């Protein structure tokens, strides 16, 4: 996917610059044409020579450089790029970009550039958490900038916390969809994500540990790949790409009615949400008193299975994909669910993949693998990796299933 792609790396003055050298090397070795623009501060950390040697291209540092202007000035560089990575995206760069300041070569290019831009922020924890940085970062996301990280862990300054630049493999994974040729154009996908919340009284609720991250990533990726995407999001589901149409819901009943409305006639429905199987038979407006009894029972009634409902609608989406989070006998249980829900495929995975589940590794952004099981009998392993890797593999299987069915249809 990287062969002959033109990647501009905007390099800020942060300690993580040394990792960007490896990123430039990886991109170049993968066949991309890589050009680097370094801020003045970045040149204090590593000399342009490093990037020149790794990419085989001249490195750009000066806005007012007559020779460089003749060869490749800020407008030409901005138009040349298929995608831009800004790494490390310093607090200072985030601030300048958020406010439209164009006082050096990189920020001036960014004022002109219409290519997708991926930010990889890296900085000290307090700098990252500061109100100013969060506000600037929020503005950039709203303007359609993509981002990866920062990660939480040990920082170069010796402190612990959020601010470490994302791993370069994760940066590469996040870059690939930005270079895609929008193969999903013309398709309407509906995805539900996150937990549901069933109220018992004014303060008490029944919910689960799902985070909604994987569903949100699937929605972002499908949108980047050209689909029109509606995300029906339970409470706490992470923010979405600006192109995703988002419908926030709370209870299972709300999620069902919005999904039913949105998914009618859609090309694809993916049920990633952890929908509560039950709700309270009665719910109360105020706060119920504890009372004197040492025991109590509460009556629960079953909620409708959303995926099964969507798969049986008269205007059923062309494809319905289900998820099965299991703690044992994953494949066996998933196969039974695939049949019971009348879905086209199901993704079997372990409950440890649920963002907030006890013993979960998913908060650290790493998922155990899973299995893609289709109604055609395919059973393909989904490799462990980041949530983004997981989402990309699922979309790949969906595309392969569609291609296979199209071939069958032609016969
Ligand atoms: C040793 C050292 C390490 C630094 N590391 C970072 C960093 O990781 N992230 C950051 O935002 N700023 C960092 N800074 C501060 C930036 O270099 C400074 O804000 C600079 O103005 C950024 O300029 P630029 O955004 O134009 O590259 C560091 C400064 C020093 C001296």
Q: Is the per-residue pLDDT at 274 higher than 90?
A: yes
Q: Is the CB of 46 under 6 A from ligand 1?
A: no
Among 11, 13, 106, 124, name the best residue to mutate to test ligand 1's pocket (greatest count of ligand atoms within 8 A of Cβ): 13
Q: Is the CB of 101 under 6 A from ligand 1?
A: no
Atom of ligand 1 nearest to the CA of 104: 26
Q: Is the CB of 123 under 6 A from ligand 1?
A: yes
* d(CA 363, ligand 1 centre) in Å: 28
- What percent of the chain is predicted at pLDDT more than 90? 69
Q: Is the pLDDT higher at 337 or at 356?
A: 337
Half-sphere exposure of 338 (CA within 13 A, CB side): 22
Domain range summary for the chain, segments of one domain joined by +: 6-179, 188-410
Fold of 6-179: Rossmann fold (3.40.50)
Atom of ligand 1 nearest to the CA of 93: 25
pLDDT tens column, 254-270: 999 999 999 999 999 99
Domain 188-410 carries which CATH code? 3.40.50.10300
Q: Is the per-residue pLDDT at 366 higher than 80?
A: no
Taking residues 355-369, report their average pLDDT.
63
Cis peptide before 88 (omega within 30 of 0): yes
Strand partners, 152: 162
Q: Is the pLDDT higher at 286 or at 155?
A: 286
Active site residues: 157
Which pLDDT score is estimated for 154?
Answer: 85
Instruction: Report the sign of the C-alpha dihedral through residues 229, 370, 254, 339, in that order.
Output: positive
* d(CA 375, ligand 1 centre) in Å: 53
* CA–CA distance, 225 with 177 (Å, rounded to integer): 7
Among 14, 126, 129, 133, name the best residue to mutate to test ligand 1's pocket (greatest count of ligand atoms within 8 A of Cβ): 14
Q: Is the CB of 10 under 6 A from ligand 1?
A: no
Same fold: 6-179 with 188-410: yes
CA distances 191 to 109, 222, 245, 258, 321, Å, are: 36, 10, 10, 11, 9
- Cβ atoms 116, 123 nearer than 8 A: no
Which pLDDT score is estimated for 69?
Answer: 52
Q: Is the per-residue pLDDT at 370 higher than 70?
A: yes
149 φψ region: left (φ > 0), alpha (ψ -120 to 50), beta (else): left
Q: Is the CB of 93 under 6 A from ligand 1?
A: yes
Least confident of 90-99, 244-253, 376-385: 376-385
Which pLDDT score is estimated for 360?
Answer: 57
Instruction: Give me 3's structure tokens.
Output: 């062969």
- Cβ atoms 7, 28 nearer than 8 A: no
Among 40, 92, 110, name the best residue to mutate to test ligand 1's pocket (greatest count of ligand atoms within 8 A of Cβ): 92
Atom of ligand 1 nearest to the CA of 16: 8
Neighbours of 46 (CB within 10 A): 16
* d(CA 41, ligand 1 centre) in Å: 7
Taking residues 306-317, report their average pLDDT.
97
* d(CA 15, ligand 1 centre) in Å: 7
Closest CA to 93 of 123, 62, 50: 123
Q: Is the per-residue pLDDT at 358 higher than 60?
A: no
Closest CA to 148 of 177, 115, 119, 179: 119
pLDDT tens column, 20-64: 999 999 999 999 999 999 999 999 999 999 999 999 999 999 888
239 phi and psi angles, rounded to 5 deg: -55, 155
Atom of ligand 1 nearest to the CA of 42: 27
Which pLDDT score is estimated for 317?
Answer: 97
pLDDT tens column, 153-179: 888 888 888 899 999 988 887 888 788
Mean pLDDT taken over the chain: 91
* d(CA 88, ligand 1 centre) in Å: 9
Which pLDDT score is estimated for 334?
Answer: 96
Which pLDDT score is estimated for 2?
Answer: 85
Buried b (16+ CB within 10 A) or exposed e, 24-39: bbbbbeeebbbbbbbb
Which pLDDT score is estimated for 58?
Answer: 92
* d(CA 221, ligand 1 centre) in Å: 31
Instruction: Report the sign of the C-alpha dihedral through residues 175, 176, 179, 185, in that order.
Output: negative
pLDDT tens column, 172-225: 878 887 887 788 989 999 999 999 999 999 999 999 999 999 999 999 999 988
Strand partners, 371: 348, 381
> Considering only CA atoms, which residue is closest to atom 17 of ligand 1?
13
> Considering only CA atoms, which residue is closest to atom 22 of ligand 1?
13
Q: Is the CB of 15 under 6 A from ligand 1?
A: yes
Which pLDDT score is estimated for 144?
Answer: 82
Which pLDDT score is estimated for 367?
Answer: 79
């Amino acid at each position: 996917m990287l062969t002959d792609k033109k990647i501009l790396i905007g390099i800020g003055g942060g300690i993580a610059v040394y990792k960007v050298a490896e990123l430039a090397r990886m991109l170049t070795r993968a066949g991309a044409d890589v050009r680097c623009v370094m801020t003045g501060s970045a040149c204090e950390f590593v000399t342009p020579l490093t990037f020149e040697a790794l990419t085989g291209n001249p490195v750009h540092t000066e806005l007012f450089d007559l020779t460089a202007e003749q060869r490749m000035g800020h407008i030409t560089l901005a138009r040349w790029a298929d995608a831009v990575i800004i790494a490390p995206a310093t607090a200072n760069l985030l601030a300048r970009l958020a406010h439209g300041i164009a006082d050096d070569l990189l920020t001036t290019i960014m004022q002109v550039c219409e290519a997708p831009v991926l930010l990889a922020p890296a900085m000290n924890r307090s700098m990252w958490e500061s109100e100013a940085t969060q506000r600037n970062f929020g503005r950039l996301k709203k303007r359609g900038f993509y981002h990866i990280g920062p990660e939480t862990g040990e920082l170069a300054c010796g402190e612990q916390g959020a601010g470490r630049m994302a791993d370069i493999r994760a940066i590469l994974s996040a870059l690939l969809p930005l270079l895609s040729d929008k193969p999903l154009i013309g398709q309407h996908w509906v995805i539900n994500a996150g937990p549901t919340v069933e109220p018992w009284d004014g303060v008490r609720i029944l919910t689960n540990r799902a985070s909604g991250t994987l569903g949100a990533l699937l929605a972002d990726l499908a949108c980047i790949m050209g689909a029109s995407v509606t995300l029906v999001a339970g409470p706490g589901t992470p923010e979405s790409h600006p192109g995703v149409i988002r419908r926030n819901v709370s209870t299972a009943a709300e999620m069902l009615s919005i999904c039913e409305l949105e998914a009618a006639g859609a090309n694809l429905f993916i049920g990633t949400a952890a929908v509560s199987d039950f709700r309270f038979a009665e719910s109360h407006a105020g706060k119920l008193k504890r009372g004197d009894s040492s025991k109590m029972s509460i009556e629960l009634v079953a909620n409708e299975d959303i995926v099964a409902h969507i798969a049986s609608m008269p205007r059923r989406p062309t494809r319905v994909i289900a998820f099965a989070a299991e703690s044992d006998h994953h494949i066996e249980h998933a196969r039974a669910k695939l049949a019971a829900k009348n879905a086209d495929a199901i993704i079997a995975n372990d409950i440890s993949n649920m963002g907030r589940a006890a013993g979960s590794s998913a908060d650290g952004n790493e998922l155990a693998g899973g299995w893609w099981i289709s109604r055609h009998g395919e059973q393909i392993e989904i490799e462990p990796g980041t949530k983004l890797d997981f989402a990309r593999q699922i979309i790949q299987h969906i595309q392969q299933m569609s291609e296979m069915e199209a071939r069958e249809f032609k016969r």
